[in-house]
Structure 1
């Protein structure tokens, strides 16, 4: 008897769009900030759930196709699935809002703690360890003349970007991007760079060289959209990237007094590890 499975399929189609809208109500967003503050691990779990929902939608479409061929008393049970779904306000062609939100600007939650466990490689440490990247530094980007550093400098395609940095930093950056690509390929595809090597003073200083000057830093963004310096906010995608960089031993500029969330640089912890291994 085909009536029972037909009824089950019809109920599944009716409940799916209702669950689609009820789920966000049952799982409310955090409200500790004026704007959203995204936990990276939670967002990745939501992304996986989103993909499961998409898979369910495909199943519903197939069931609807079967229902359209079921007749009861000579009448087709479901003649137009799209019209039925629209009656509940459901649109299977709606873009994935989670994926599209990577470039959304959000507040940075507890940004003073984002580098916990890592030490910053301060300009004094870099100078004592390597010397200046060149003697006649100014505020403009110039070439590197320090022979020890210059011999380790490489220009390579690393994941989605092209960078000029010290070789150990490039290899470490490659590990970061490999992990991101495996975990979140949608985010990986939208990573862009605003620069890496730039041999100059730190902005506002006439004595200290930037980590960019040593080939140990890179600026990243999502979709080529630059972050506003010092506003305490950043793109959602960068909050996710930060977890991967911290795991690899990189410091995130979001923690600084004048927040610079596009900036990622190798920590002192990582540098000392490379020095012990004779890589620098």
Structure 2
């Protein structure tokens, strides 16, 4: 009787590597998207398939160990009363194989240095030359804005799922982003949360440069109120989807920074120059 489970295991060992090799050729698992995030479901499916492939690799290792044990006579595979040996290898046919809470799942950011493509950063020096400082006595603490040109454009509004204090053109642009997300992926839209917008202060670690938050041109977002870990090169899956919508509207994603900050979205230099040329900023 020891021969039967050995045959089953041998077949599994032969078939599993074939599936392991062929499956990625049919369904690419790399998260390398060249267009806007129109199909959030596809992005989630890719992450689910990636996790399933990891499960296959783990189970293949378990099968290899069991075959070695059988061949060496260390012990036979214990068959279940119905003749099913699957449970011996950790398979649980009663549990669905799916990612729970996919939008909040933490994933690596693919090609993160290139996520903003051709969009230019509105650097602190560019913003200062264009508008002056948001206030003269900046510190590392959040304060009120005193720059008259900017302050006159500052508003506090509910924009889609979040409430923000930002410059009016930025608020209008953010509203467009959120409306596109709501129409395309209402489930993701309902789970968007904010970690802040306006904060008139220096960039962390600087005593000369003002943050984009200080100009009312940036917002920090997350999924379900869970804050991202700064600088680890990973982010919530939902934020990778949001980033595509923001990029299409001319916003830069902080995931590309030297120290990754994937909750951070700010208006690009291209967008600021467009608003200045149009006389709305």
What is the TM-score when the length of structure 1 is the normalising length?
0.70
SS at match of 2:279: coil
* Cα distance in 2 between the residues matched to 1:99 and 1:194: 24
RMSD of the TM alignment (CA)? Answer: 2.4
- Distance in 1, matches of 2:146 and 2:162, equals 25
Q: Secondary structure at the match of 2:104?
A: coil
Q: Deviations over 1:127-176 (max 9, x none)?
A: 00000000000000000000000000000000000000000000000000
Please give the residue correspondences for 1:227-242 in structure 2 after superposition, counting only pairs within 5 Å.
227-242=228-243
1:79-111 per-residue CA deviation (whole Å, 9 max, x = no partner) reads: xxxxxxxxx9578xx69x567210000000000
1:259 equivalent in structure 2: 260
| Secondary structure of 2:103's aligned partner | coil
- For the residues of structure 2 that align with 1:258 and 1:251, how far apart are their CA atoms? 15
CA shift for structure 1 position 47: 6.6
Native 8 Å contact 1:153 1:215 kept in 2:
yes
Equivalent residues in 2 for 1:132-171, closer than 5 Å: 132-171=133-172
Partner residue, 1:204: 205
Question: What is residue 125 of structure 2 aligned with on the other side?
Answer: 124
Q: Determine the C-alpha separation between the residues in 1 that align with 2:247 and 2:43.
A: 22
Cα offset, 1:45, TM superposition: 3.7
Counterpart position of 1:44: 41
Shift in Å, 1:28: 4.8
Whole-angstrom CA distance in 2 between matches of 1:194 and 1:201? 18
**Aligned 1:12-161 pairs, distance under 5 A:** 28=27, 30=29, 37=31, 39=33, 40=37, 43-45=40-42, 89=93, 97=98, 100-161=101-162
Provide the C-alpha distance between the structure 2 equivalents of 1:223 and 1:38, rounded to a whole number of angstroms: 25
Q: Distance in 2 between matches of 1:46 and 1:232?
A: 18
Structure 1 pair 90–183 and aligned structure 2 pair: CA distance change class (3 A)? farther
Alpha-carbon distance in structure 2 between the residues aligned to 1:177 and 1:147: 29
User: Contact conserved, 2:44 with 2:102, CA < 8 A, in 1?
Assistant: no
Unaligned runs of 5+ in 2: 1-18, 46-91
Q: Aligned partners of 1:46, 1:122: CA distance in 2, in Å?
A: 31
Task: Decide whether aligned partners of structure 1 residues 120 and 194 sit closer, same or farther in structure 2, where only a CA change above 3 A counts.
Answer: same
Question: Does the 8 Å contact 1:38/1:106 carry over to 2?
Answer: no
Paired with 2:254 and 2:246, the residues of 1 have a C-alpha distance of: 11
Work out whether 1:276 is the aligned partner of 2:277.
Answer: yes
- Shift of the 46–235 alpha-carbon distance from structure 1 to 2, 3 Å rule, reads closer
For the 8 Å contact 1:99–1:186, the answer to whether it is kept is no
Deviations 1:218-260 (A, max 9, x none): 0000000000000000000000000000000000000010000
Instruction: State the alpha-carbon separation in 2 of the partners of residues 144 and 194 from structure 1.
Output: 19
Whether contact under 8 Å (1:120, 1:251) holds in the other structure is yes
Distance change (3 Å), C-alpha of 1:273 and 1:120: same
Aligned length, in residue pairs: 211
- Distance in 2, Cα, partners of 1:115 & 1:133: 26
- Residue aligning to 1:219: 220
Q: Which stretches of structure 1, 4 residues or longer, exceed 6 Å deviation after superposition?
A: none
TM-score (norm: length of structure 2): 0.70
Give unmatched runs, 5+ long, in structure 1: 1-21, 32-36, 49-87
For 1:102, what is the secondary structure of its paired residue?
helix
Whole-angstrom CA distance in 1 between matches of 2:262 and 2:236:
9
Pair 1:106–1:135, CA change in 2 (3 A): same
Structure 2: distance between partners of 1:163 and 1:38: 31
Contact 2:38/2:184, CA 8 A, preserved across alignment: no
Q: State the distance in 2 between where 1:135 and 1:256 align.
A: 27
What residue number does 2:194 align with?
193
